[in-house]
Amino acid sequence: MERRRTNRYSLRMRANIQALGASAIMQPIETWTRDVSAKGLFLDMAEPFAVGTRIKIVLELPPEVVGTPVLLHCLSRVVRIVEKADGKLGVGAVIESYEFVHPGNA
């Protein structure tokens, strides 16, 4: 049963992810989005975060889409982990809040 309430778009963007709180990691993990929506995104990952983990995701929005380089900082929460047939993992995260930042102001 489909639970999404917003359209999702197949959009591959570079994403830097860092766990927040007690499970924080030292360095951000670089990965890619598989799809995005107004309320969440799905990421290709080599290693998963546990469901419920709060993460910070920084997306670099393509200048051809937004007209100028812009970073999207998202505070998110992992809501599902999917093991794909090729052995790789997918991580679904809901966006709790976000902020647009111009790279010179990051």
Identify which of 7, 94, 11 has the alpha carbon closest to the alpha carbon of residue 60: 11
Q: Strand, helix or coil at 103?
A: helix
Q: What is the mean pLDDT of the chain?
A: 86
Question: Has residue 1 got a pLDDT over 50?
Answer: no
pLDDT of residue 58: 95
Interval 9-13 mean pLDDT: 87
pLDDT of residue 23: 59
Interval 40-66 mean pLDDT: 88
Alpha carbon 67 to chain centroid, angstroms = 21
Which domains does the chain possess? 8-105 (2.30.110.10)
Between residues 72 and 22, the one the model is more confident about: 72
Q: What pTM value is reported for the model?
A: 0.82
pLDDT of residue 17: 93
